[in-house]
């Protein structure tokens, strides 16, 4: 009976996305948000002139991590779309900065989160957006709407 | 960086806490007294480490790197177990134990950086 009565899809979807493994994902994003913010603040406050491009990128990465953490932790369709964009930007960022830091070590010294594909952070910055996108794909609102409205429970999961 | 007693003690505490929490998660346990206490011990270590740092600082064994960078790291590290505890107890699932397990590895890395700063090795 409860399967046919449509639950508010956003509530169901939000709970699912922020629970279980999602909590670990959000926690790791949170750690990166805090550490990259602290690091970027330090770099910009003490030695901005040394490598302005790299330190601005540090700050940009910090903002991306903050947006990703908050949007992943919030239920609802808007938060979902924001988190997809944030995690995509993160993936592009780590790939672009990673590649540039190897070709041009002058502009990108080895001290942003994304330098050398996040080597200084055990390559977690490279793996994190891939896991994030996979998690978001698995918990996309459309798929969950279907699961909520389905009369027959799916057995393929 | 010089591997001193502080680093060894901290590393052992962090690794044990991580093993306990991840082990509990593998056994499909939600956060319990043992895993929460193991994280509390990490926090306690940080407090002891800070007191020792003040004493060393005052007794003529100063930070060779930037003192405010050291203390910035310390204050951030102090918040990690508290934040993880809060985040983990909001949902009683085994994944919350892995969140608690992330404290150990995070604090271990931060302790490594704090020790580097203390010995004046490498900049941020």
Instruction: Give ∠ CA A29-A84-A146 in degrees, rounded to 5.
Output: 115
8 A C-beta contact, residue B74 and residue B46: yes
pLDDT along chain A (157 residues), means of 10: 45 67 96 93 88 90 97 93 97 93 72 87 94 95 58 51
pTM (two decimals): 0.85
Contact list, A34 vs chain B (CB under 8 Å): 76, 79-80
What is this model's ipTM?
0.89
Q: Report the chain B residue with the minimal C-alpha distance to residue A44.
A: B124
Count residue pairs from A and B with Cβ separation < 8 A.
45
pLDDT tens readout for residues A136-151: 999 988 755 555 554 4
A48 touches chain B (CB under 8 A): no
Q: In whole angstroms, what is the distance from residue B24 CA to residue B104 CA? A: 14
**Is residue A144 helix, strand or coil?**
helix
pLDDT, position A144? 52
A124 touches chain B (CB under 8 A): no
Question: b/e for A54-71, b at 16 or more Cβ within 10 A?
Answer: bbebbbbbbebbbbbbbb
């Amino acid at each position: 009976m409860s399967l046919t009565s449509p639950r508010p899809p956003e509530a169901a979807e939000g709970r699912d996305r922020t629970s279980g493994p999602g909590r670990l994902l959000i926690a790791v994003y949170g750690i990166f948000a805090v550490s990259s913010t602290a690091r970027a603040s330090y770099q910009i406050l003490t030695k901005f002139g040394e490598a302005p491009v790299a330190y601005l990128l540090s700050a940009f990465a910090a903002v991306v991590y903050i947006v990703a953490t908050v949007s992943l932790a919030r239920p609802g369709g808007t938060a979902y779309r924001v988190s997809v964009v944030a995690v995509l930007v993160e993936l592009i960022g780590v790939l672009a900065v990673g590649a540039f830091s190897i070709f041009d070590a002058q502009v990108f010294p080895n001290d942003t989160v994304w330098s050398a594909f996040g080597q200084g952070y055990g390559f977690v910055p490279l793996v994190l957006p891939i896991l994030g996108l996979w998690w978001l794909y698995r918990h996309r609102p459309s798929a969950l709407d279907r699961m909520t409205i389905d009369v027959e429970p799916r057995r393929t999961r | 960086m010089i591997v001193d007693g502080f680093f060894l003690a901290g590393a052992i505490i962090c690794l044990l806490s991580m093993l306990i929490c991840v082990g509990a998660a593998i056994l499909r346990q939600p956060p319990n007294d043992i895993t929460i206490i193991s994280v509390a011990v990490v926090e306690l270590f940080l407090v002891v480490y800070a007191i020792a740092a003040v004493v060393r600082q005052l007794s003529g064994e100063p930070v060779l790197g930037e003192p405010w960078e050291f203390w910035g790291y310390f204050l951030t590290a102090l918040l990690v177990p508290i934040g993880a505890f809060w985040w983990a107890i909001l949902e009683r699932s085994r994944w919350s134990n892995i969140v608690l397990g992330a404290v150990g590895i995070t604090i271990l890395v931060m302790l490594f950086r704090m020790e580097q700063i203390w010995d004046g090795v490498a900049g941020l």
